[in-house]
Chain A
Amino acid sequence: MAVFDTPQAAFGALRPACVQLTRVQTVENVRQLQAHLAGVSGAALQELQEYVLFPLRFALRVPGPKQERLVQSLVQCISSVLAATCVKKQELLQELFSELCTCLAPPPSSGKAAPLSEELKLAVIQALHTLMHSAYGDVILSLYQPSTLPLLGFAVSLLLTLAEQEKAKQIKISALECLQVLVLQCDCQEHWHLDEDEAQQCGDLFASFLPGISITLSRVIAGDIKQGHKTTVSAIRLFYLIVGLVMSDKQLARIPKNKEKLPVEHSRISELMIHRGPDWTKSTAEKLSLLLHKVVESSSVHPHWKVRLELVELVHHLLSNCSQSLVDSFSHLLKALVGLVNDENSEVQSRCNKVLQGIAEQRIVAQNRALADVLSENLHSLATALPRLMNSQDDMGKVSTLSLLLGYLKLLGSKINIVLNSVSHLQRLSKALVQVLELDVTDVKIVEARRSGPPCPLQQGVQKGRYQKKYFRFFTEEKVFQLLQQVCRVLGYYGNLYLLVDHFMGLYNESGLYRKQAAMILNELVTGAAGVGVDFLQEREVPLNMNDLKGSITSILDEYMDQANWYLVTSIDTEESSPEQSVQQGLAVRAGGSSSSVLLLSPEPPATTRTMNSNIWQICIQLEGVGCFAAVLGKEFQLLLLSALYPVLEKAGDRTLLISETALGTLADICEACGYNSVQCLINENSDYLVNGISLNLRHLEYQPRASQVLDTMLRHSDASLLPLVEDVIQDVLSALDQSYNSQASTFLRVLHSVMTALVQWFGMSSTEEHRQRQADKGQSRPRSWGQQEVTITSQELERFFLDYVSQKQIAEGDLPDLEEEEADEVPLAKPEPNSDTEGEAPMPIHAQLAKDVMERCIHLLSDGSLRVRLKVLDVLELCVTVLHPHGNHLLPMAHRVWPALVTRLISDDPLAVLRAFKVLCTLAQTCGDFLRQRVSKDVLPKLTSSLLSQAPVSARAGPVYSHTLAFKLQLAVLQGLGSLCERLDMVFSCT
């Protein structure tokens, strides 16, 4: 088809169709015109706009009933003309507007909407839409004058009716969109931008429609889901746009006190006009609050995410535009917003977060007292309901409730303190938290799980910050715990730390029931206060005062590490402590001996698994707390090590697996915080603090086991550089032991054992090397003495050989000196040990001195009544011998003194003890060599041979079970050891 660019050509083309239409109004003619229109360019049509519109409008205006199809095609045609042109005249706009509206209006006779076809309705709506878009800015404003109010109202009510009552989605949506254009809130960008006065004027006008629009829309929003989400979304958008415009804080602020008088001719209209004064604002806000509540309620649970997203937008729009006028509604709105933070749809979530962020950043809450009040009110009611909700809801419900709580706290930001300052708020909140965080303490395994054997070096298996997984009574979902954590941290971040710490400390002390939870909360509070791992929306107003934090932490630490809270019964330990010891402890408690020991054991009779489990958890939580505090304070924690390191290390040696693991984790945290490379480093650098603690605790009988535990741990994770300090404290241990041989022997033996193990570890290398050398020397010297052909034998050697020979000879002849005599001449024998002449002069190294001191105690304890102690002593003794090995002229006198007791063990004791004693003997023989020859052959060998002899027939006959018996083990050990023993002692000589 030809295109007509010039008005003249276009006119020529359109004229016949127009004339024809004017004459006869048929659908066919309209279609003709429309067909011609398609060939006319926009510019040309603009010139001819009124000319073309005339026949169309004329056809519409023809009185009498018309065919619906005709009207529809007319309207469509108008619409296409308007789409291509602009309306430049006010009159034209108003007339077209009213004519189009009339098309939809019911015939004046019937009161109800005409049963028009849906196509027609759609066509009219679209035409209106197009009309609004084709009008020039200033032209369109003419429509928004008080005088046109009735017309506008008519259109609005028509469209609303359509939006509400139509079935077809298309119509509903179009009607809503058209309304949106009508209230000048179109989404497209090409609109005339209203200046403030104009907007104000429009606001005044629209205020008249607000009740109708809002009520209808809220019905639409709450309507059947079947209407489709698009309808709901548009309705929500329109709702907030219109409310936001009419109730805008900015506009309301500019409303004059009194209603303006309109010119007289508009008196009727002026009755329709609404004055948005304070009274009106208030009552409208109240009504809107109800509607908003309804809207929020229905759409926040809408299955389609776009609806929920639109709800977020609604809250955002209203919060940013009407935060004062609609303040009463915000309790619902914020609740919805905060609740949607954890929406299942990520888009809703992120938008929601962004909106919250925006709210926080603009300090809407901080600057708006009323809003803060609303929030704290919400918070209070939530806190009130929280305990109940936590009890009744399932995990999902808890997640949403808690995210709501978290959202409130985050929104309140630094205003949290207003809430916290109210005792009832704080109490509610804390009670709820404490209640939710109740741990499940029924697991028996926790009490049962023991540390097996000595723990591997601390560095391995310890991962920083990995806390023990806790099991809660009221929820299992990890998410719930994370939310609770965040709640506490946010509280700590914004809240007054002193107040919070004080309050929760109060709870901590109030009852054992709350203690674990309160400790958990305190840990998180402090973490939050330091700003670690807090997910906040706005920076707090007052930055953290490090001194305050330190002060709080110090007081919490003091409380945690108080006797009554740190030393709890976590096991009924029958396995390690000997029975008599526990009896004694029990007696001490019953006698009320020392005041503090009463605290150690709870007054109730035997601790149940449940309480022990609970105690274990409490200790773990407190340990985790220490780790938190260290992480928070960083290097500053160094100062607190003085008081904190010892108790933590004590727990690292605890026999309950969970506790010792947690303590190791805490140590790792401390290392990291204070900048130590390893736990060993930590212990070495702070050994003075530890030694101080140990030494002080050793002074009290009831703390001795614990002190020895720490020493144990310390030794295990340290190195030789520690020796000077350790020496000091070991002397303390020894003197403590001297004062309580009976009661604490087994405790201290454990320490002595670890001391000696450590010494062997630290100094063992040198000694074994020396030993090897010595062996080598011996190896060299032996063939010499054997063969005697070599001429390089010194006179000294000769003399010694001769003396030896004489004594051996005597023995061989059965001329055995009795014990006293032997001792008497053994001593001078020990002196001229040529190997160690030089060592004799030099002062003994500390470790050797220690070994000697320890050995001295062993002599006394070798004949202890308890088998367990004796076995332990034998172990320690063996280690002592190993350490003393390079210092022959100290070892030999000691060996001499040990001998009688050792022999008794070898000859007449429990087989277990014999077994160990034999091992000691072997070690001793390794180092003392021929010094023992005589004694062994006299005191020990006869007994051993006789027992071997008696055992031989038994074993010969024995079945497979025999290899599991003690007798077998003993027999085996003796048979295995005897050979090398004899060799070491040069027994060959004495036998020949």
Chain B
Amino acid sequence: MALPPPDPQFVLRGTGAAVHTLHFSCGGPEPDIPLLFSGSENGFIHVWNLKTHRVDSALDGHGRKSVYCVETMGGKDRLLSQGRDQRICLWDLAEGRTSVTDSVFTEHVGFCRCSLLEVAQGRWLMAMAARSLEEVQILELPSKTSVCTLKPEVGAKLGMPMCLKLWQLNCGSQPVLLAGYEDGSVVLWNVSMGKVLSKLVCHQEPVMSLDFDSEKAKGISGSSEKVLSIWSLNEQQNLQVYKTHELVNAGISDITIRPDKKILATAGWDHRIRIFGWKKLKPLAVLDYHTATVHCVSFSDHSKPRERLLAAGSRDQRISVWSIYAQT
């Protein structure tokens, strides 16, 4: 008999609203305190101290509108956050400051999280859904200069972009964007040429989330249906369906592959977090704690593998933190 699923290692309470996004910053050397950033529906970004399990500070920069994406840029001192006030804010958190240094007005009304890729020291590319419905815009940060705008062909009817993933095979190579669209298709864009490389219809419903493993050239996407779709990218830069996985309950709001590419976690509308082996998509565990839809899952970047954590944020206003390295 399999072991009963574990309990969360601890649960963070006190966001006061549904949690939409989580991001760890734990990679720092010893004196640095491991942090978890959470963005919640009431527009606050909470900075959780993972030693005391308490909020160190709460950042208010999106006019009390839901924050649905938080990323660090480089260290834990620079933060990027995206909110429903249609702004992407850049924060300076060094030495206890909590100020917005810069912001980008996206004019996008959807929920598409932006995607960040560091292309050089202190230089990032950011993909974000743009004002017109189907477009994705690539900006260079921190200069905010527009690199290109990815516009689907006329008549493609992809709908709005739902999720984005910028990546490059290795440092210096061409950055590539994977975008999941409202019509259920995943499109591979060549960023520098602004061209569609490949398009694959994975789902009948909008793609809610996707993640991609550039080593194995395989990606996974989830939608509001009961199906997880795994697709691969072949040498000719063509996306192919590799496998699908049927779920018990419909609706996946977030998918994350663990940085070591061994397992992945999904955030389900059925209040559950599911853990799969990435290689064969073998179901490993169902983590049942939340009492409402789970909105996001995130793996920590601790330098010691044993300390690494999984966090999930849910509409029930709690963030559950799990230690699953020890078990797997």
Stretch at the interface among B3-11, B38-46, B159-167, B223-231: B3-11
Cα distance A688–B8 in the bound complex, in angstroms:
15
Query: Residue B11 contacts which of A639, A692, A700, A735 (CB distance < 8 angstroms)?
Result: A692
Cα distance A696–B321 in the bound complex, in angstroms:
12
**Distance from B241 Cβ to chain A, minimum over Cβ atoms (Å):** 38
Cα distance A735–B292 in the bound complex, in angstroms:
13
Interface check A19, CB cutoff 8 A: no
Q: List the A residue with the shortest CB-CB distance to B288.
A: A699
Q: Are the CB atoms of B53 and A689 closer together than 8 Å? A: yes
Interface check B51, CB cutoff 8 A: yes
Query: Residue A688 contacts which of B7, B14, B289 (CB distance < 8 angstroms)?
Result: B14
Q: Are the CB atoms of A692 and B53 closer together than 8 Å? A: yes
Query: Residue A725 contacts which of B8, B13, B51 (CB distance < 8 angstroms)?
Result: B13
A-B contacts, 29 of them at CB < 8 A, read A594-B4, A638-B52, A639-B51, A639-B52, A642-B10, A642-B53, A688-B13, A688-B14, A688-B53, A688-B54, A689-B53, A691-B13, A692-B10, A692-B11, A692-B53, A695-B11, A696-B7, A696-B8, A696-B11, A699-B7, A699-B289, A700-B7, A725-B13, A725-B14, A728-B13, A728-B317, A728-B318, A731-B291, A735-B291
Interface string of B45-59 (1 = CB under 8 A from A): 000000111100000
Cβ-closest 3 pairs across A and B? A696-B7, A692-B10, A692-B11
Q: List the B residue with the shortest CB-CB distance to A638.
A: B52
Cα distance A639–B34 in the bound complex, in angstroms:
14
Q: Are the CB atoms of B13 and A692 closer together than 8 Å? A: yes
Cα distance A699–B4 in the bound complex, in angstroms:
12
Residues of A close to B7: CB separation below 8 A: 696, 699-700
**Distance from A323 Cβ to chain B, minimum over Cβ atoms (Å):** 46
Cα distance A688–B48 in the bound complex, in angstroms:
13
Q: List the B residue with the shortest CB-CB distance to A594.
A: B4
Interface string of A609-642 (1 = CB under 8 A from B): 0000000000000000000000000000011001
Q: List the A residue with the shortest CB-CB distance to B7.
A: A696
Q: List the A residue with the shortest CB-CB distance to B11.
A: A692
Within 8 A of A (CB), among B76-97: none
Residues of B close to A594: CB separation below 8 A: 4
Cα distance A660–B133 in the bound complex, in angstroms:
65
Cα distance A671–B290 in the bound complex, in angstroms:
33
Cα distance A695–B54 in the bound complex, in angstroms:
17
Within 8 A of A (CB), among B198-238: none
Q: A594-B4, A692-B10 are in contact. List 8 more A-B contacts (CB 8 A).
A: A638-B52, A688-B53, A689-B53, A696-B10, A696-B11, A700-B7, A725-B13, A735-B291
Q: List the A residue with the shortest CB-CB distance to B3.
A: A595
**Distance from A538 Cβ to chain B, minimum over Cβ atoms (Å):** 33
Interface string of B313-324 (1 = CB under 8 A from A): 000011000000
**Distance from B311 Cβ to chain A, minimum over Cβ atoms (Å):** 14
**Distance from B136 Cβ to chain A, minimum over Cβ atoms (Å):** 39
Q: List the B residue with the shortest CB-CB distance to A703.
A: B7
Interface string of B13-27 (1 = CB under 8 A from A): 110000000000000
Interface string of A135-168 (1 = CB under 8 A from B): 0000000000000000000000000000000000
Interface string of A716-757 (1 = CB under 8 A from B): 000000000100100100010000000000000000000000
Cα distance A649–B95 in the bound complex, in angstroms:
37
Cα distance A42–B105 in the bound complex, in angstroms:
116
Within 8 A of B (CB), among A654-713: 688-689, 691-692, 695-696, 699-700
Cα distance A551–B53 in the bound complex, in angstroms:
19
Cα distance A728–B292 in the bound complex, in angstroms:
13
**Distance from B313 Cβ to chain A, minimum over Cβ atoms (Å):** 15
Cα distance A739–B10 in the bound complex, in angstroms:
22
Cα distance A689–B53 in the bound complex, in angstroms:
8
Residues of B close to A688: CB separation below 8 A: 13-14, 53-54
Cα distance A725–B14 in the bound complex, in angstroms:
8
Residues of B close to A728: CB separation below 8 A: 13, 317-318
**Distance from A700 Cβ to chain B, minimum over Cβ atoms (Å):** 8
**Distance from A471 Cβ to chain B, minimum over Cβ atoms (Å):** 40
Cα distance A731–B10 in the bound complex, in angstroms:
17
Residues of B close to A689: CB separation below 8 A: 53
Cα distance A695–B318 in the bound complex, in angstroms:
12
Residues of B close to A696: CB separation below 8 A: 7-8, 10-11
Within 8 A of A (CB), among B252-306: 289, 291
Q: List the A residue with the shortest CB-CB distance to B321.
A: A692
Residues of B close to A642: CB separation below 8 A: 10, 52-53
Residues of A close to B4: CB separation below 8 A: 594
Residues of A close to B14: CB separation below 8 A: 688, 725
Q: List the B residue with the shortest CB-CB distance to A642.
A: B53
Cα distance A594–B52 in the bound complex, in angstroms:
31
**Distance from B183 Cβ to chain A, minimum over Cβ atoms (Å):** 39
Cα distance A700–B289 in the bound complex, in angstroms:
12
**Distance from A915 Cβ to chain B, minimum over Cβ atoms (Å):** 38
**Distance from B326 Cβ to chain A, minimum over Cβ atoms (Å):** 14
**Distance from B60 Cβ to chain A, minimum over Cβ atoms (Å):** 19
Cα distance A696–B4 in the bound complex, in angstroms:
14
Residues of B close to A735: CB separation below 8 A: 291
**Distance from B78 Cβ to chain A, minimum over Cβ atoms (Å):** 27
Within 8 A of B (CB), among A330-386: none
Between B13, B53, B54, the greatest number of chain A beta carbons within 10 A of the residue's beta carbon is seen for B13
Q: List the B residue with the shortest CB-CB distance to A693.
A: B10
**Distance from B328 Cβ to chain A, minimum over Cβ atoms (Å):** 19
Cα distance A836–B250 in the bound complex, in angstroms:
43
Cα distance A691–B14 in the bound complex, in angstroms:
11
**Distance from B317 Cβ to chain A, minimum over Cβ atoms (Å):** 8
Cα distance A696–B317 in the bound complex, in angstroms:
16
Q: List the B residue with the shortest CB-CB distance to A691.
A: B13
Cα distance A642–B10 in the bound complex, in angstroms:
10
Residues of B close to A699: CB separation below 8 A: 7, 289
Residues of B close to A638: CB separation below 8 A: 52
Cα distance A639–B8 in the bound complex, in angstroms:
19
**Distance from A537 Cβ to chain B, minimum over Cβ atoms (Å):** 37
Residues of A close to B54: CB separation below 8 A: 688
**Distance from A235 Cβ to chain B, minimum over Cβ atoms (Å):** 66
**Distance from A6 Cβ to chain B, minimum over Cβ atoms (Å):** 93
Cα distance A877–B147 in the bound complex, in angstroms:
66
Residues of A close to B10: CB separation below 8 A: 642, 692, 696
Within 8 A of B (CB), among A170-193: none
Q: List the A residue with the shortest CB-CB distance to B4.
A: A594
Cα distance A974–B55 in the bound complex, in angstroms:
55
Residues of A close to B317: CB separation below 8 A: 728
**Distance from A487 Cβ to chain B, minimum over Cβ atoms (Å):** 36
Interface string of A546-569 (1 = CB under 8 A from B): 000000000000000000000000
**Distance from B14 Cβ to chain A, minimum over Cβ atoms (Å):** 7
Q: List the A residue with the shortest CB-CB distance to B52.
A: A639
**Distance from B232 Cβ to chain A, minimum over Cβ atoms (Å):** 39
Cα distance A840–B291 in the bound complex, in angstroms:
27
Cα distance A384–B259 in the bound complex, in angstroms:
57
Residues of A close to B318: CB separation below 8 A: 728
Q: List the B residue with the shortest CB-CB distance to A641.
A: B52
Cα distance A728–B15 in the bound complex, in angstroms:
12
**Distance from A687 Cβ to chain B, minimum over Cβ atoms (Å):** 10
**Distance from A904 Cβ to chain B, minimum over Cβ atoms (Å):** 33
Cα distance A688–B51 in the bound complex, in angstroms:
14
Cα distance A357–B52 in the bound complex, in angstroms:
44
Q: List the A residue with the shortest CB-CB distance to B8.
A: A696
Cα distance A899–B52 in the bound complex, in angstroms:
48
Cα distance A700–B5 in the bound complex, in angstroms:
11
**Distance from B79 Cβ to chain A, minimum over Cβ atoms (Å):** 24
Q: List the A residue with the shortest CB-CB distance to B10.
A: A692
**Distance from B94 Cβ to chain A, minimum over Cβ atoms (Å):** 24
**Distance from A562 Cβ to chain B, minimum over Cβ atoms (Å):** 16
Cα distance A181–B51 in the bound complex, in angstroms:
74
Cα distance A219–B280 in the bound complex, in angstroms:
93
Between A638, A642, A689, A695, the greatest number of chain B beta carbons within 10 A of the residue's beta carbon is seen for A695
**Distance from A557 Cβ to chain B, minimum over Cβ atoms (Å):** 16
**Distance from A11 Cβ to chain B, minimum over Cβ atoms (Å):** 96
Q: List the A residue with the shortest CB-CB distance to B55.
A: A688
